[in-house]
Amino acid sequence: MSRWFAIIILLSGNAFAKLDETLAPSKTCEHDALNFRCVKFIKNYDADTVTFFIPNVHPLLGEKISVRVRGIDTAEKKGKHPCEKDQAFQAQELVGKTLEAAKRIDLVNVDRDKYFRILADIQADGRSIKDILEEADLGYSYNGGSKQNVNWCEFGKKRVPTSKDSP
């Protein structure tokens, strides 16, 4: 009886190891149904819309794929107020520099948003772009509902310095 018990323990341990493998970040660059790994940063129009080259995808999808950052909204470059434009520039620069410096970029939990745009958690060297923007106070949590009416002059009191701020 104990022999069968040992075999069951070994087999279930192997199953838990495989479960751990699927939950942990992948060390390979292989894509799966929900994730594009080892993508290449091309540009970012603003802080919450970024264009990537995604290797090993069907050419029908294109080489330059625009991705919306999941869970955050940032100021608009075409906003009406100078404060909003300034915040948008700072956020765009932070995201651009972060992604340019990253050794590895992954698009995690890829999906479509309500406008059918590609939506993903963007990770630069394991750090979430959403979290980086929130920590810099350059965006607020947004999950697709009605957008907040933000006073960008009051928002973002702990702004990160940018090259625009330099004398």
Contacts of 26 by beta carbon, 8 Å cutoff, 6+ apart: 35, 37, 106
- With contact defined as beta carbons under 8 Å apart, do 33 and 44 qualify? no
For 119-166, the pLDDT digits (tens) are: 999 999 999 999 999 999 999 988 877 677 878 888 766 545 445 444
Q: How high is the pLDDT of residue 25?
A: 57
| SS3 state at 79 | coil
What whole-number distance in Å separates Cα of residue 109 and Cα of residue 50?
A: 16
For 4-21, the pLDDT digits (tens) are: 434 444 444 544 444 344
Domains of the chain: residue spans and CATH:
30-158 (2.40.50.90)
Q: How high is the pLDDT of residue 62?
A: 77
Q: What is the pTM of this model?
A: 0.76
For 76-105, the pLDDT digits (tens) are: 998 888 988 999 999 999 999 999 999 999
- With contact defined as beta carbons under 8 Å apart, do 130 and 136 qualify? no
Report the candidate in 106, 100, 101, 98 with the shortest Cα–Cα distance to residue 28.
106
Task: Name the residue with higher pLDDT: 99 or 2.
Answer: 99
